[in-house]
Amino acid sequence: MTALQTPHIAVVHRTTEAATVKPVAVERKATRFVFAGLRIGLGWIFLWAFLDKLFGLGHETAAAKAWINGGSPTTGFLSKGTTGPFADLYHGIAGAAWADWLFMAGLLGIGVALIAGIGLRVAAVAGGLLMVLMWTAVLPPENNVFMDDHLIYAGVLAALALVNAGETVGLGKLWARLPLVQRAPWLK
């Protein structure tokens, strides 16, 4: 303390710092839990789409059109729901076995990774790519000239990976300690 500082000012300064530490810690904890909730919720969106298309649970996919009953998870949307400049491209891959397998593996992998809180970087890239592809399938979006929920989901996926959202209410910390993940950090 210099001669110009008084003990009173130093105490006020210390009290102010101490008073701000606790709210910041509470905000950070709350933020981690909000991101964990978003991660699990978005994971359920992907996993539900997989389960509905696999078993035909009747929400979007009828049982007769379930993948396990010989239906194609890509035929309906890609052949009838696509519009805009990429419609012909999507019509061409509708129902292709490779497209069905890739789409279903993506839904399952992204959903499980998000819910478990593991491999968020890979899940964010794969999920973001899937969301952008789905956005291009319906250009222009129905409710807005440019923006729709697919782009918002892609942004949320990126944010989840950037803040390590798998570490709260997830297995992210354990996952990061695995030797394979230590050697290849992009798997976090």
- How sure is the predictor about 145, in pLDDT bands with cuts at 50, 70 and 90? confident
Instruction: Tell me how far apart the alpha carbons of residues 85 and 106 are, in angstroms, rounded to a whole number.
Output: 24
Cis peptide before 185 (omega within 30 of 0): no
In a domain, 21, yes or no: no
pLDDT of residue 1: 44
In a domain, 99, yes or no: yes
Percent of the residues in the chain that have a pLDDT greater than 70, as a whole number: 89
- How sure is the predictor about 118, in pLDDT bands with cuts at 50, 70 and 90? very high
* 138, β-bridge pairs: 83
Phi/psi at 64 (nearest 5 deg)? -65, -25
pLDDT of residue 3: 45
pLDDT of residue 141: 84
- Neighbouring CB atoms inside 10 A of 70's CB total 8
In a domain, 16, yes or no: no
Q: Name 45's Cβ contacts closer than 8 Å, sequence gap at least 6.
A: 111, 153
Residue 102 structure tokens: 């890739």
Residue 167 has pLDDT above 90, yes or no: yes
pLDDT of residue 39: 98
Looking at the structure of the chain, the number of domains it has is 1
Q: What is the domain extent for residue 151?
A: 35-187
pLDDT of residue 169: 96
Reported as a single tens digit per residue, the pLDDT across 15-58 is: 455 555 677 888 899 999 999 999 999 999 999 999 999 999 98
In a domain, 7, yes or no: no
In a domain, 58, yes or no: yes
In a domain, 1, yes or no: no
In a domain, 27, yes or no: no
- Residue 78 has what DSSP assignment? I
Distance of CA 104 to the CA centre of its chain: 16
In a domain, 24, yes or no: no
Reported as a single tens digit per residue, the pLDDT across 1-10 is: 444 444 444 4
Residue 108 structure tokens: 């399952």
